[in-house]
Amino acid sequence: MNSRRDFLQKAGISTLAISLPFSEALSAIHLEREDKVLRVAIMGLGSYGTRVAEAMKDCKRAKLVGVISGTPSKIEAWQQKYGIPAKNCYNYENYHLIKDNPDIDAVYVITPNSLHKPHSIGVAKAGKHVICEKPMALNAEEGREMIAACKAAGVHLLVGYRMHFEAKTLEVVKMQRAGEFGKTLFFQGLSGFMIGDPTQWRLNRDLAGGGSMMDIGVYSINGARYMLGEEPIWVTAQEVKTDPVKFKQGVDETITFQMGFPSGAVASCLSTYSMNNLDKFFLNGTKGFAEMQPSTGYGPIQAKTNKGPIEADHVTHQTTQMDEMAAIILDGKKPIIPVDGEEGLKDLVIVDAIYEAVRTGARISLI
C-alpha cells in the first residue's frame, strides 16, 4: 500500500485519489493531465498569427492568453476580440517581463524569419516554452544557437510543422513505415504560389533570409524526409529568375532541387513564388504509390494511394497542432513525426546546402 501511495503522490494526485482503487486512481492521473491547458501568448499579430488565434478557439488543451506586438492598435483589437487581459499584453521592448507572469506557459513566435532567433532566445531566457514558426531560423548556425539556448533554459523548443499532425499525412507515413508501398524509390514535391505585394517582408532579404525556399520550399524538404522516412545525403539545385525587379538579389523566385538518400531513393522538388497550382507530393515504391494534392495547404488535404482514397475528417490544422503541442509540453507525448528544434535544424542544414548548390553548381554532400 505504501508503494501505491508513494507512486500517486509523486504523480501529483490528491489525497482523494489516493483513497480510490488503484485502477481508478490511474484514471484520475489521466484526467488530471487531460485537464491541464497550455496557456499561450502569440508574438506577431499578422495574418498567420490571426489564423492561429482563430484556430485555437476550438482547442481543448491550448488557450490563447496573451499577445506580444509592436503595434498598439493590434494589441487593443486582440484584447477586445479574444478577451486578453492587459497584464498579458507586451511589446517587443518589454516582452522579457513575461518571466514574472505565471499565467503564460509558452510563446508562439510568428514574426519574420530574421527575428525568430532573437525572439525565441528571448522567450527561452524568460523561462517560457518556445513554439517557433517555420523555418526555425535563417540558417543552421542560428538554429543551433536556438536549440542551445532552450536547453540551457530548460524549456521546450517546438517548430510549427502543422502537417506533422494532419490525419491523411500521418496515414501515408504509417503506410510507408509499414512497408505497404514496398521499397520507396522516388519522391516529388511541388511547392509554390504566385506571391502578391512586392513590398511585403517575405520579399525582403534582410527579414526573410531568402525567397520562396525560406517559405514554401521548406514543405517539400520536410515532406521528402517524412514521406521517405530517411535523411538525404546529398543535394543539387538550380535557380531560375524571370523577374529580377520583384525578386532582388538574394531573394529566390524559383529553385528546383534534388536530394539523394542512403537507400538509393531520390527526390525531385520545386519551390517557387511565380506559379500557382503547385501543392503536390508524390511517393512511389515497388509495391504502390501515394499522391497528395493539395498536400500542405490549409485544407482539406486530398490523398490517395494505389489502394484508393484516404478518408479522414478535416480539422483545422492549427487547432490540431496546438492541442498536440500542448500534449508534448504538458504530458511528454512523443509525436509520430518530431516537431522539436532538432527536426527544424535538419531542414535548415538542407536549406543551407541548397543555396550552396545554387551558388556553386556543385553537388553538396550532407554527410
Catalytic machinery residues? 134, 219
Helices (H), 126-280: 140-153, 167-177, 205-208, 217-228
Angle between helices 317-331 and 47-56 (to 10 degrees): 70
Residues 6+ apart with CB under 8 A from 38: 61, 62, 63, 105, 106, 129, 322, 325, 326, 329, 330
How is residue 48 written as a grid cell?
498567420
Residues 6+ apart with CB under 8 A from 117: 137, 138, 142, 145, 146
Cβ pair 261, 232 in contact under 8 A: yes
Q: How far is it, in rounded angstroms, from Cα 42 to Cα 40?
A: 6
Q: How many residues does the chain have?
A: 367
- 40, with CB counted inside 10 A (0-12, 13-18, 19+), is buried
How is residue 297 written as a grid cell?
495547404
Cβ pair 217, 190 in contact under 8 A: no
Element (H, E) at 349: helix 341-360
Q: How far is it, in rounded angstroms, from Cα 81 to Cα 46?
A: 15
167-205 as b/e: b if 16+ CB within 10 A: bbbbbbbebbeeebbeebbebbbbbbbebeeeeeebbbb
